[in-house]
């Protein structure tokens, strides 16, 4: 299991300050609520291959890290630039030591403001030196200088992120003498969807942080707050995971009708989120004696925590992966259903690669049509392989 970074910065504890920033972000993103405005992917199924054929999709590796938005603003009172990380719990952290210049000022002297990046914090580990480096891999741009980019395509947003945010930032950093930063900012590499084999064979092996699959994003679509069906996360079917709330049920203490025996291994219930504060039992996790001893030895309190689980077809049981301290709630019941579907109807890496030529062919046909060429005859959809089975 790869190292999961701790989000740097000072948590805002003053309600008035946090509420002000949430209202500011709500206005910049034009959202209905003040909740976390980031987009969320859906799980990959066999039908997703048809989406990759019908529209232009980009693909990148899915980093095993912590998702955060980066807010850049100007403080009207102090006239100083401030930067904040916003995590999926909608907690704001003030991050010090960063400077972002305005993209229209070639002298790099005007600070940027009212800009929001989307990305993921990872820990890159150097096997030779043993050193860990905290990096923020930016992959999208929601707002630039107060202008919402939600209606623009991914390729347009990504181009602005690269040319108008990251490149000026690096130029200013070099101009100021490459001062120490709280993390290293990098642009996440994207490829066309038909370059799947290149991502598997070249990108992922060179990673210094953990990998959790692939992300396919429609290059033609705008930015959606909340679940976006045109952002698709792929994992090997056996590695698809669900976030449940863990509820421990301890047996009664011998000779007592009221007290519980906390020395005994409990029944571990997995509950799915129904929305609001409602949870409902979904299944039991048959935690092994060794797993229970290790959790006690490591001081891990599993009760009422959000845990990530994958399904073991061999054991016909859930496999515990990690505690998700970065999430307030488990997966919603509708998401659980879709992930179960993606496990049953999953696509293997070899099947993705086999379909890459077809994805490339239909991409090139669209390019030809856009350039004024005649459309080619549509290709038939891929045939569906035999499904794997999951037993709950």
CATH of the domain at 265: 2.40.50.140
Whether the pLDDT of residue 385 is over 90: the answer is no
Last residue of a domain, one of 236, 259, 286: 236
pLDDT of 108-118, one tens digit each? 999 999 999 99
Residue 361 in any domain: the answer is: no
CATH of the domain at 45: 3.30.470.30
Q: Give residue 178's pLDDT.
A: 66
Same domain, 154 and 177: yes
Same domain, 110 and 55: yes
Same domain, 48 and 160: yes
Same domain, 80 and 95: yes
Model confidence at 296, pLDDT cuts 50, 70, 90, reads confident
Report, as an integer, the average pLDDT of 7-18. Answer: 94
The span from the CA of 304 to the CA of 245, in Å, is 6
Model confidence at 388, pLDDT cuts 50, 70, 90, reads very low
**Structure-block tokens of residue 212:** 């959790």
Of all residues in the chain, the percent with pLDDT exceeding 90 is 76
Last residue of a domain, one of 183, 204, 236: 236
Q: Which domain holds residue 327?
A: 239-345
CB 229 within 8 A of CB 209: no
For residues 103-139, b (16+ Cβ closer than 10 Å) or e, as one string?
beeeebeebbbbbbbbbbbbbbbeeeeeeeebbbbbb
What's the structural domain count of the chain? 2
Residue 303 in any domain: the answer is: yes
Whether the pLDDT of residue 376 is over 60: the answer is no
Residue 362 in any domain: the answer is: no
The span from the CA of 145 to the CA of 164, in Å, is 10
Q: Tell me the C-alpha to C-alpha distance, in Å, between residue 290 and each of 158, 241, 287, 296.
A: 47, 22, 8, 10
Of all residues in the chain, the percent with pLDDT exceeding 70 is 94
The span from the CA of 332 to the CA of 247, in Å, is 16
Higher pLDDT, 222 or 259: 222
Q: Give residue 1's pLDDT.
A: 55
Same domain, 83 and 207: yes
pLDDT of 249-273, one tens digit each? 998 888 787 888 888 899 999 999 9
Model confidence at 382, pLDDT cuts 50, 70, 90, reads very low
Whether the pLDDT of residue 48 is over 90: the answer is yes
> pTM for this structure?
0.80
Catalytic residue among 3, 22, 47, 62: 62
The pair phi, psi for residue 309, each rounded to 5°, is -130, 145
Same domain, 285 and 320: yes
| Average pLDDT taken over every residue of the chain | 90
Whether the pLDDT of residue 378 is over 80: the answer is no
Active site residue 338: no
The pair phi, psi for residue 319, each rounded to 5°, is -110, 120
Q: Give residue 217's pLDDT.
A: 98
Same domain, 229 and 112: yes
Same domain, 186 and 118: yes
Same domain, 150 and 17: yes
**Structure-block tokens of residue 182:** 């709280």
Residue 80 in any domain: the answer is: yes
Residue 118 in any domain: the answer is: yes
Same domain, 21 and 151: yes
Residue 56 in any domain: the answer is: yes
Question: CB atoms < 10 A from the CB of 297, how many?
Answer: 8
Model confidence at 210, pLDDT cuts 50, 70, 90, reads very high
Residue 183 in any domain: the answer is: yes
Whether the pLDDT of residue 379 is over 50: the answer is no
Intra-chain end-to-end CA distance of the chain, in Å = 25
Residue 389 in any domain: the answer is: no
Last residue of a domain, one of 208, 236, 264: 236
Report, as an integer, the average pLDDT of 173-201. Answer: 92
pLDDT of 317-362, one tens digit each? 999 998 998 888 999 999 999 888 878 878 999 999 999 999 999 9
Same domain, 202 and 243: no
Same domain, 221 and 262: no
Q: Is the dihedral of CA 363, 369, 373, 374 positive or negative?
A: positive
Burial class (CB in 10 A: 0-12, 13-18, 19+), 26: middle
């Amino acid at each position: 299991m790869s190292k999961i970074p701790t989000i740097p910065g000072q948590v805002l504890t003053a309600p008035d300050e946090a509420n002000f920033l949430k209202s500011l972000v709500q206005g910049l993103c034009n959202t209905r609520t003040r909740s976390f405005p980031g987009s969320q992917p859906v799980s990959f199924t066999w039908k997703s291959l048809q989406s990759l054929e019908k529209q232009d999709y980009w693909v990148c590796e899915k980093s095993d890290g912590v998702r955060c938005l980066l807010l850049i603003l100007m403080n009207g009172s102090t006239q100083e630039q401030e930067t904040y990380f916003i995590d999926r719990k909608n907690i704001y952290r003030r991050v010090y030591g960063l400077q972002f210049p305005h993209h229209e000022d070639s002298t790099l002297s005007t600070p940027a403001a009212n800009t929001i990046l989307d990305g993921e914090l990872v820990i890159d580990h150097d096997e030779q030196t043993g050193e860990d480096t905290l990096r923020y891999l930016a992959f999208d741009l929601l707002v630039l200088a107060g202008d919402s980019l939600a209606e623009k395509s991914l390729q347009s947003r990504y181009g602005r992120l690269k040319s108008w945010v990251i490149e000026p930032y690096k130029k200013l950093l070099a101009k100021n003498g490459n001062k120490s930063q709280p993390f290293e900012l990098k642009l996440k590499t994207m490829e066309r969807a038909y370059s799947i084999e290149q991502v598997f064979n070249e990108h992922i092996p060179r990673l210094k942080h953990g990998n959790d699959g692939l992300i396919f994003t429609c290059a033609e679509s705008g930015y959606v707050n909340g679940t976006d069906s045109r952002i698709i996360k792929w994992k090997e079917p056996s590695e698809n995971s669900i976030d449940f709330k863990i509820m421990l049920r301890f047996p009664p203490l011998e000779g007592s009708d009221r007290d519980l025996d906390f020395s005994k291994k409990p029944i571990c219930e997995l509950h799915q989120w129904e929305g609001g504060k409602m949870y409902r039992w979904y299944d039991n996790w048959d935690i092994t004696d060794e797993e229970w001893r290790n959790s006690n030895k490591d001081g891990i309190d599993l009760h009422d925590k959000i845990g990530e689980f994958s399904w073991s077809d061999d054991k016909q049981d859930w496999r515990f992966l990690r505690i998700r301290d970065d999430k307030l709630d488990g997966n919603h019941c509708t998401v659980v259903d879709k992930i179960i579907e993606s496990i049953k109807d999953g696509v293997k890496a070899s099947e993705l690669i086999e379909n890459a030529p077809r994805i490339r062919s239909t991409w090139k046909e669209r390019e030809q049509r856009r350039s004024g060429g005649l459309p080619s005859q549509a290709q038939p959809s891929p045939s569906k392989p035999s499904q794997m089975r999951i037993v709950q």
